[in-house]
Structure 1
Amino acid sequence: MIIFAAILSFIAVLSIVRREFNPAYKISWIIMVAFLPIIGPLFYLIYGKMSVGHYLRQANKRSSRDITTYLHSFEKNIEIQNSDFKKMSKYIREITGMPVWDKTATVIYNRGIDMFEAMKQSLSKAEKFIFIEMFIIAEGRMLEEITQILIDKAKSGVDIRFIYDDFGGSARIPVGFKNRLTKNGIQIKTFNPLRPRMSASINYRDHRKIIVVDGNVAFTGGINFADEYINESIRFGYWKDGGIKLTGFGVFNFTLMFLNMWEILNRAIEQYDKYLPTIEEETDGFVLPFPDGPFDGHQTTGNVYLKIISSATKYVYITTPYLILDNELLVGLKIAAMSGIDVRIILPHIPDKKLVFIVTRSYYGELIEAGVKIYEYTPGFIHTKSIITDDILGIVGTANFDFRSLYLHFEDSCLLCNNSSLIDLRNDFLETVAISHEIKTDDLKKEGIIKKFVLSILKVFSPLM
């Protein structure tokens, strides 16, 4: 038995070492395999292979190729002065095919209820189509009001398509929800349905939150269809969330992101010309909405985060509900702070996932020692995902600063450059700092030896959380 366990562990370690993946992720699995003979290797073989299903990979390859080819006809000679944004946009275009757009208006929302009301107004005005891609859907006021608008619009002939993630929606979805939508002429698809078997595919979730109306208006950000996002129900104190609305040419990237996922799930080929924007707004800087996911192996969002941090000359402001960093982002934040950049991060004070919150706190000491200022949002839970630097560059989207968002999940983000919404984003950050508690070194010294030991252990396995 001992020999068998040793051989199994050896095979698992070889498999881990030879893979092209983040070193921290490899180290976590190697330690688990070494200290948990038989159980560790078996757990890795089932959950750690990180291989996306062959069909999904091939379907995405086909759809992404078609979209990229189509987008070549939209090559625009947009003059970009900012060299950092120019490099980022070229990188994103190379990986995802998504172009930069001007002639797009943006609005930042810093309260879930405000964004919810704006969503309803836009959905109620739909004339041609509505595309929705959501991670969590839960029974309650928010979902019911959205659903009623969708049913009314479907009856008037609007083409409505709805994608939701089964992991995010299965526990709290209303009974008969899918049948209700289908009976009223709404097309609905479930991403990666949960099945009663052990499989690594459970790791891959559609964490995107996209709403597109008539190809002219799009929403994204942290908000799902559940009542806690609008504080209709109180779960973890006041829930601070937000996002962004786009109107104009830049919406087309979100439309294509949705159609890419729809083609994968529906095994269909779409005519992209049918969904082009018809509204041209005044140019207010540049927008570049882009997707990310485990198909390409590039960790696009994380790399763009890193580039934004390294481009800063004055400040970097980050809001995120979770902070489980790979070595590259950790070092990038520390270098920025030690170079005199004002680096601040706002995190929740009341967590929604206690274990993840404990791991998040394990990064505080190293960051604070380097000069990063860490704040906890005292009124409750902050779920906004954003980064902004120097009033020039920023991102609002769905990706957290953790391994799951940056390596496993399907995410969407909107990169902004020289956009007036960046000022709104900065002002909201500073207002939020004013009602948050700054974590000091003395706060961390209060932790006992046992807690520090537990934190050290959890930090080793943080890439697996």
Structure 2
Amino acid sequence: MLDFVQNNIFISLLIINYVIAIGTAFFIILNNRNPITTVSYILSLIVLPFVGLLIYFFFGQEYRKDKMFKRRKVFNNKKVKEWEKKLLVGEQKLDQYEDRFLDNQVNIVKLLQNNQKKPLTFGNDVGILLNGEKKFESLFKDIEQAKDYIHLEYYIFNSDKVGLQLIDILCKKAQEGIHIRVIYDYVGSALSGKQEKRMQSAGIEIFPFMPVWFPNLTRKLNYRDHRKIVIIDGTLGYVGGINVSDDYVNPCKKGYWRDTHLRIKGNAIKSLQSHFLLNWNFVSNQEIEITDSFFPKMENCGEIAVQIAASGPDSNWPHIMEAIFTAINSADKSIHITTPYFIPNDQILTALKTASRRGVEVKLLLPKKGDSWAAKYATNSYILDVLESDIEVYHYCKGMIHAKTMVIDGEFSSVGTSNMDYRSFEINFEINALIYNKEFSQKMIAIFNDDIEDCEQINIDEWKERGLVKRLKESFCRLWAPLL
């Protein structure tokens, strides 16, 4: 036996691989996960010897109920819960708002209030910032005006030109006595140790989100903090698709980068704040004292109703996906979606197709090239399916479109960090602002129509004629859609 192993090392390793793979496959099946995800992982174990095991080892393990997420304690803090309760709108009051402006969207409000205790907030002013150059111009000015504290949370925080500009301002404000807390994702960011130490020396508290070190690599590599949040003095905040990187400021080395971010002033910042504090306690292992300064009383800043939806593997349900699903099913007239990655689960795909077939105008705006070849081909594999349900699909040709937006009936909008894909719905920590306002939503449709000017509409007959090689690439990448 020993001689056989020594003389047939590869075959022996292959046998060991498949023995482990069979055991792993049984474990995956017993977990009763999404059938598509289950099949994808089992297929990778069968057709990719050794590599399939690595894929599952690094990306496939389920930690939604893992104890490392149960350590998150901010929601157990009575003070935070008190503030959330004060902001909640009662059922009777919701009925009044339904008659005034919520219409079918009242179900979205109820869903998030029941699942996540996230209130519908009033008295907000919401500004739309197109592309990084506008976002950072506005953000830097607001940071300069900070009086008490600044909270930042980013998936990508790089030590490049725009990153150094932000660090310069933050260090200056810290030296003025402003309390600054920063969370950056360890995998997504390229923040140098030198700049991190510089911020710490200036008095800035900064922590990485789930650093990836052996032997904890498998537990942490897959679940990333994809949020982009800034909170200034508890009254002003930013949320959307734009990270801290030169790639988001035009002109950039990747060509033209089209993105959307929001500047919010008003009571919705209290919900953004609670999510930041939740993550802060998690990454810092601190029990931060919740004071009134985190949730200050404000006069009405505007007339817009906003609800914050957040999700991640620490939650019992995929809140953002469920909110999007509910919004699509509530549509009577139109659905406008812009997303860089369209790899929907069965629920969202079915909701969109049935909406179109019952007479709702559905338009999808996607990048033509994208910044990931695998995601691009996986996205393309869904296009014929939606075209056959009379959904209009547009390819953005000017550059990369990275905005993550949705508008329903010209009355309800979603802008945030969540893509239309498995990773955003199930794996990453995401956050979206849901805007219940007709005037704001009409602005979002106008922006959508402006973007269409830089698009080509996909013709179903021409799409069917694309080459066999492309179709094979699409089908292959679609198999791994839950992993992308």
Moved more, 136-145 or 32-41: 32-41
Aligned residues: 461
1:445 is displaced (CA, Å) by 3.1
Check 1:17–1:274 CA distance in 2 against 1; reply closer, same or farther (3 A cut).
Answer: same
1:136 aligns with 2:156: yes
Corresponding position of 1:71: 84
Aligned-residue CA RMSD in angstroms? Answer: 2.1
For the Cα contact (< 8 Å) 1:104–1:280, is it kept in 2? no
> Which residue does the alignment assign to 2:8?
none
One-letter code aligned to 1:257: H
Measured in 1, the distance between the counterparts of 2:438 and 2:149 equals 28
Cα 1:75–1:329 shift into 2, 3 Å: closer
Counterparts of 1:179 and 1:376 in 2: how far apart (Å)?
Answer: 43
Where structure 2 has 5 or more consecutive residues not aligned to the other structure, the ranges are 1-11
1:107-126 to structure 2, matched below 5 A, reads: 107-126=127-146
Task: Tell me the amino acid that sits aligned with residue 108 of structure 2.
Answer: M
1:106 positional shift:
0.7
Instruction: List aligned pairs for 1:195-206, cutoff 5 A.
Output: 195-197=213-215, 198-206=217-225
Give the TM-score taking structure 1 as reference length: 0.93
| Cα displacement (A) at 1:55 | 5.0
Is 1:15 aligned to residue 27 of structure 2?
Answer: yes
SS in 1 for 2:310: strand
Alpha-carbon deviation of 1:196?
4.7
Q: Which residue of 2 aligns with 1:341?
A: 360
For 2:259 and 2:435, the matched residues in 1 are separated by 19
Task: Give the equivalent residue in structure 1 for 2:426.
Answer: 407
Aligned match of 1:105: 125
Q: Secondary structure at the match of 2:385?
A: helix
Q: Is the 8 A contact 2:131 2:242 kept in 1?
A: no
CA shift at 1:4, angstroms?
A: 5.7
- Distance in 1, matches of 2:444 and 2:291, equals 32
Q: How does 1:335-414 map to 2 (within 5 A)?
A: 335-414=354-433
Q: What does residue 274 of structure 1 align with?
A: 293
Between 292-301 and 442-451, the greater mean CA deviation after superposition? 442-451
Per the alignment, residue 4 of structure 2 pairs with: none
Distance 1:282 1:73, change over 3 A: closer
User: What's the CA shift string for 1:207-258, capped at 9, x where partnerless?
Assistant: 00000000110101011111121114231x2100111111111111111111
260 and 20 in structure 1: CA distance in 2 versus 1, 3 angstrom threshold: farther
Alpha-carbon shift at residue 116 of structure 1 (Å): 1.4
Greater Rg over alpha carbons, structure = 2
**More displaced, 51-60 or 114-123?**
51-60
Structure 1, unaligned runs of 5 or more: none
Match of 1:451 among 470, 473, 481: 470
Is 1:59 aligned to 2:59, yes or no? Answer: no
> 1:273-320, CA deviations, whole angstroms, 9 ceiling, x for partnerless residues?
231134322552410012210112411111111111111111100111
Alignment counterpart, residue 116 of structure 2, candidates 93, 96, 102 = 96
Q: Does 1:263 align with 2:276?
A: no
- Whether contact under 8 Å (1:321, 1:382) holds in the other structure is yes
- In 2, Cα distance between equivalents of 1:457 and 1:122: 46
The one-letter code matched in structure 2 to 1:294 is: P
Q: Is the 8 A contact 1:247 1:279 kept in 2?
A: no
Find the aligned partners of 1:110 and 1:38 in 2 and give their Cα distance.
Answer: 45
Mapped pair 1:158 → 2:178: yes
Query: Which residue does the alignment assign to 1:251?
Result: 269
Alignment match, 2:40: 28
| TM superposition shift of 1:39 | 5.0
- Per-residue deviation, 1:451: 2.5
Q: In the superposition, relative to structure 1, how do residues 272 and 20 fare at CA in structure 2: closer, same or farther (>3 Å)?
A: farther
Return closer, same or farther for 1:122/1:279 CA change in 2, 3 Å cut-off: farther
Structure 1 equivalent of residue 52 of structure 2:
40
Distance in 2, Cα, partners of 1:182 & 1:37: 45
- What amino acid is aligned across from residue 59 of structure 2 in structure 1? Y
Alpha carbons 1:284, 1:419 under 8 Å: kept: no
Residues 417 and 431 in structure 2, CA contact (< 8 A), matched pair in contact too: yes
Could you say what secondary structure the match of 2:388 adopts?
helix
Specify which of 271, 281, 296 is matched with residue 315 of structure 2. Answer: 296
**Per-residue deviation, 1:141:** 2.6
Structure 2 residue corresponding to 1:426, chosen from 439, 445, 448: 445
Contact 1:8 1:38 in 2 (8 A): no
Mapped partners of 2:223, 2:363: distance in 1: 30
The verdict on how the C-alpha distance between 1:25 and 1:68 changes in structure 2, with shifts beyond 3 A counting, is farther
After superposition, the C-alpha distances for 1:39-86 in whole angstroms (9 at most, x for unaligned) are: 5356424531121585531222x2223234552244445542125332
Match of 2:6 in 1: none
CA displacement, residues 177-224 of structure 1 (integer Å, 9 cap, x when unaligned): 110100001110100112255514200100000000001101010111
Separation in structure 2 between the aligned mates of residue 68 and residue 419 of structure 1, nearest angstrom: 30
Indicate if the aligned counterparts of 2:305 and 2:436 stay in contact, CA closer than 8 A.
yes
Percent identity reads 26
Q: Secondary structure at the match of 2:238?
A: strand
Change in CA separation of 1:45 and 1:352 when aligned onto 2, cut-off 3 Å:
closer
Paired residues for 1:214-229 under 5 Å:
214-229=233-248
| Structure 1 counterpart SS, 2:120 | coil
Q: Distance in 1 between matches of 2:382 and 2:67?
A: 38
